[in-house]
């Protein structure tokens, strides 16, 4: 009886990898490591991307239009970007990194991370921000495509040999949250509670 139980346990254990794979779960090998699935990784990244997009766009939208020219002056803030310039910079960086992830040239109007000079009003800046996230979403969609080339970007700390589509997208999300912290400060200095912090 014990031998039959052991054989049954062995068969169940050996088939568990196939069952997990069919259920869309990662399989675990004998060393306890999980095999990676590019589609699952891409789907997880898309969840984080959508969260980032929602938080950034809602924060940019929360600032009143007449405060887009605001930059702090008290303390060590000499030469910092205005709120509107910061959102344009964030957007331009999204465009530049997404272009590299897609193996394309960045839009000419992205400039050196400043964004287009012609984009000035809150509505124009919000459209530019939304467009940058749509372009970044296109780069995420291409993560599992082996035929789409990847370029290095002059604004990325990654060397050419280290550059991957995934790394460029993650860099863009990290950059966004760096600026989100600054945007929160600017919002609160103007009496606006960031939407993500509201009850």
pTM: 0.80
Please state, in angstroms and as integers, the Cα–Cα distance from residue 113 to each residue in 8, 22, 91, 143, 199, following that order.
61, 44, 8, 23, 34
The topology (CATH level 3) of 37-197 is 1.20.120
Please determine, for residue 21, whether its predicted confidence score (pLDDT) is greater than 60: no
Task: Return the ∠ at Cα 47 (arms to 46 and 52), rounded to 5°.
Answer: 90
Rama region for 34: left / alpha / beta (φ>0; ψ in -120 to 50; rest): beta
Structure tokens at 96: 């530049």
Please state, in angstroms and as integers, the Cα–Cα distance from residue 91 to each residue in 119, 150, 180, following that order.
11, 20, 12
- Helix, strand, coil shares of the chain, percent, nearest 5, are 60, 0, 40
Tell me how far apart the alpha carbons of residues 165 and 188 are, in angstroms, rounded to a whole number. 35
Condensed to tens digits (0 to 9), the pLDDT of residues 153-194 reads: 988 998 888 899 999 999 999 999 999 999 999 999 999 999
Condensed to tens digits (0 to 9), the pLDDT of residues 101-137 reads: 999 999 988 878 889 999 999 999 999 999 999 999 9
Ranges of each domain in the chain: 1-35, 37-197
Tell me how far apart the alpha carbons of residues 135 and 149 are, in angstroms, rounded to a whole number. 16
Helix (H/G/I), strand (E/B), else coil: 115 = coil
Q: What is the mean pLDDT of the chain?
A: 85
Contacts of 87 (CB under 8 A, 6+ apart): 60, 68, 125, 126, 128, 129, 179, 183
């Amino acid at each position: 009886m014990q031998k039959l139980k052991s054989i049954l346990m062995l068969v169940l254990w050996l088939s568990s990898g196939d069952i997990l794979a069919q259920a869309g779960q990662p399989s675990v090998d004998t060393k306890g490591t999980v095999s990676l699935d590019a589609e699952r990784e891409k789907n997880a990244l898309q969840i984080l991307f959508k969260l980032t997009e929602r938080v950034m766009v809602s924060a940019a939208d929360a600032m009143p239009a007449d405060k887009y020219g605001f930059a702090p002056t008290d303390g060590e803030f000499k030469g910092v970007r205005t709120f509107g310039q910061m959102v344009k910079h964030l957007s331009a960086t999204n465009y530049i990194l997404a272009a590299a992830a897609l193996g394309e040239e960045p839009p000419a109007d992205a400039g050196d991370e400043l964004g287009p000079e012609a984009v000035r009003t809150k509505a124009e800046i919000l459209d530019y921000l939304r467009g940058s996230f749509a372009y970044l979403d296109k780069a995420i969609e291409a993560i599992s495509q082996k035929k789409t080339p990847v370029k290095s970007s002059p604004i990325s700390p990654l060397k050419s040999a280290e550059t991957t589509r995934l790394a460029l997208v993650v860099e863009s999300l990290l950059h966004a949250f760096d600026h989100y912290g600054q945007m929160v400060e600017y919002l609160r200095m103007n009496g606006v509670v960031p939407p993500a912090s509201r009850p």
